[in-house]
Amino acid sequence: MPTRLSTEERQTEIVAAALRLAEAFSPARITTGEIAAAVGVSQGAVFKHFSSKEAIWLAAMGRVRTQLLQSLDAAAQAAATPLAALAAVFRAHVDFVVAHPGVPRLIFHELEQPADSAVKQEVRALLQAYRKLLLRLLDAAVRQGQASAVLDQEAAATLFVGIVQGLVMQSMLSGKPATMKAQADRVFALYLHGICEVS
């Protein structure tokens, strides 16, 4: 007889299955039937916990936002200096994507949609919180003399996120998320050179 899970445990299982399917397929193509099959329950059981496929993706994005931001915050707090914290955040983000390759596919899918949605709002909240963290670290680096005193911090935060997104896109094109790690340190070294150079 299968183990009876709590509502929260079953929801976590359903969300995890949806994100695993997103590693190989566009979220738009994934059906609730396929999610149910991946979990090993009926489609009715899925709808017992989520009202729609959109509700599953919303829960998935909410969990991603919480887990990723916690990971990035922990990496930053464990570092001794602002520049070390930026490097740690960069590595933590790369590690997260390598461990959860379905996440960027979900995010990119949502950002492609012309209409606003609850899922897109979660993505926006994640990016805003991420940017706030980066700006705090960049400002600390400037104040402590680790980065250029004339650094455009807004542009530096945008570039940081853009570098990660570029690595993610290349890994998705190659179908090998782990390739991000091979390039990450070299790419980040160039970023550090740029923000530390005095104009």
Q: In three state form, how does the secondary structure of the chain look?
A: CCCCCCHHHHHHHHHHHHHHHCCCCCCCCCCHHHHHHHHCCCHHHHHHHCCCHHHHHHHHHHHHHHHHHHHHHHHHHHCCCHHHHHHHHHHHHHHHHHHCCHHHHHHHHHHHCCCCCHHHHHHHHHHHHHHHHHHHHHHHHHHCCCCCCCCCHHHHHHHHHHHHHHHHHHHHHHCCCCHHHHHHHHHHHHHHHHHHCCC
5-34 average pLDDT score: 92
pLDDT score of 3: 61
Task: Say which CATH class 53-196 falls into.
Answer: mainly alpha
The mean pLDDT value of the chain amounts to 92
3-11 average pLDDT score: 82
pLDDT score of 199: 47
Separation between Cα atoms, residue 42 and residue 4, nearest integer Å? 14
165-188 average pLDDT score: 85
Whether 81 and 142 have beta carbons less than 8 Å apart is answered as no
Cα–Cα nearest to 56, from 97, 12, 102? 12
pLDDT score of 73: 97
Domain boundaries, the chain: 53-196
Separation between Cα atoms, residue 134 and residue 86, nearest integer Å? 7
pLDDT above 90 covers what percent of the chain?
75
pLDDT at 198 over 70: no
pLDDT score of 114: 85
Both tokens of 135, joined, read 């700006």
Separation between Cα atoms, residue 14 and residue 163, nearest integer Å? 31
pLDDT score of 182: 83
pLDDT at 1 over 50: no
- The amino acid sitting at 115 is A
169-176 average pLDDT score: 81
130-151 average pLDDT score: 96
94-101 average pLDDT score: 92
166-178 average pLDDT score: 83
More confident residue, 2 or 184: 184
